[in-house]
A and B are shown apart, each in its own frame.
Chain A
Amino acid sequence: KQEVTQIPAALSVPEGENLVLNCSFTDSAIYNLQWFRQDPGKGLTSLLLIQSSQREQTSGRLNASLDKSSGRSTLYIAASQPGDSATYLCAVKAGSYQLTFGKGTKLSVIP
């Protein structure tokens, strides 16, 4: 059974700092990995999707990497801003195409 773990559960950083969020998964037979952002009480916004054959994806200040063999992904956020405050969720797609999610990392960026 696929399990996804995200560390840390919560993170507080001053504005302008670069930061890394971690995601690990137990079964490396995945099709892709996706990072989402969730604001309180809201739905999910897709940030980056990495196919299993790819090593990384970039969008603006965000960079996500994937090491399938070790079951790890990182989300790098450069020059953090207060508007980046949200919960970040990592999800993998495998098997019957459902997404398996971690519990998320709650990020607070302090002005």
Chain B
Amino acid sequence: ETGVTQSPTHLIKTRGQQVTLRCSSQSGHNTVSWYQQALGQGPQFIFQYYREEENGRGNFPPRFSGLQFPNYSSELNVNALELDDSALYLCASSIGQGASDTQYFGPGTRLTVL
């Protein structure tokens, strides 16, 4: 069974650019959540996708957007990058969106905005 994978591992961008991060869910999982973890902080919830639709969003501006594909893989897109967007971006998948469904995390993508 393949776990959650994310690409790329590291990324360097400049202010104002756009970035796309990718996540492949664990086999059989139809729910994907994205989190942002700034240095020294706990992860912050960005949004969740269930069967290709966004069904929950944290306190992030609209320039953070996402997609989920029919195979349940997902993308996180960030437009007009700001310095504060520098962080570790974590993707987590679960077998469903139920309260007892465990989220399994990928290794993350480290984004640096210069």
Residue of B40, B42, B106 touching A89 (CB-CB under 8 A): B42
Asked if A51 and B100 sit within 8 Å, CB to CB, the answer is yes
Asked if A41 and B42 sit within 8 Å, CB to CB, the answer is no
B99: A residues at CB distance < 8 A: 31-32, 93, 97
Residue of A nearest to B104 (CB): A46
A103: B residues at CB distance < 8 A: 40-42
Asked if A43 and B42 sit within 8 Å, CB to CB, the answer is no
Number of chain B residues close to chain A: CB under 8 A: 29
Asked if B45 and A99 sit within 8 Å, CB to CB, the answer is yes
A62 to chain B, nearest CB (A): 16
Known: A98-B33, A99-B45. A43 touches B103 (CB 8 A): no
- Taken residue by residue from 84 to 111, chain A's Cβ proximity to chain B (1 for < 8 Å, 0 otherwise) reads as 0000010101001111111110000000
A57 to chain B, nearest CB (A): 12
Residue of B33, B97, B102, B108 touching A43 (CB-CB under 8 A): B108
Asked if B100 and A101 sit within 8 Å, CB to CB, the answer is no
Residue of B nearest to A52 (CB): B99
Residue of A32, A45, A99 touching B100 (CB-CB under 8 A): A32
B45: A residues at CB distance < 8 A: 98-100
6 A-B pairs within 8 Å (CB atoms) are namely: A49-B102, A98-B45, A98-B58, A99-B33, A99-B43, A103-B40
Q: Which residues of B contact A (CB under 8 A)?
A: 6, 33, 35, 40-45, 48, 55-56, 58, 88, 90, 92, 97-108, 110
Q: Which residues of A contact B (CB under 8 A)?
A: 4, 31-32, 34, 36, 41-46, 49, 51, 89, 91, 93, 96-104
